[in-house]
Amino acid sequence: MLVHVLLYDAGQDSEGIHSLELSGQTVVLMFENCDDAERYAGLLEAQDFPTPTVEALDQHEVELFCTEAGYEARLVETGFVPKSDDERLMLAPPTANRDVSNWQTDDQSLDSVQSSNPSDGLDDVRRRLEGLL
């Protein structure tokens, strides 16, 4: 199944995926509905956050990438209704975001954006994800 994720600098060496810090875990959102992903990206932009690109990728490939990177992948299904404060962040980003003006060159993990750290395993996953496009 195709899911929609939010990418920064898609296709570039500095490509990163949007993530959230929920209950101490880095979470990558996978949107079932493209319109939901576009809306979330628009909410980020409205907060003066870098504007992400919505990309459709295979759900299994995104989950594999997340597992290998130590992230948790969460599916935001069409018609999703949050049941907790953490789940509300899956529909609308937090009002306060970490400064990511230099995320492309920052070696530290960021709460809202993770830049890619090249390694053999992650490069292989990236090649497989790019092959799906």
Q: Once rounded to an integer, what is the mean pLDDT over residues 11-31?
A: 90
Smallest CA-to-CA distance from 6 within 24, 21, 19 is with 19
CA distance 86 to 124: 31
φ, ψ at 76 (rounded to 5°): -100, 100
Q: Which residues contact 42 (CB under 8 A, 6 or more apart)?
A: none
Per-chain mean pLDDT for the chain: 79
Tell me, what's the pLDDT at 30? 97
- Using one digit for the tens of pLDDT, what is the confidence trace for 73-118? 999 999 888 888 888 888 888 765 554 444 444 433 333 333 334 4
pTM of full prediction above 0.85: no
Count the alpha carbons within 13 Å of 10 in the hemisphere toward its beta carbon. 14
* The pair of three-digit structure tokens given for residue 44, joined into one six-digit string: 């980020």
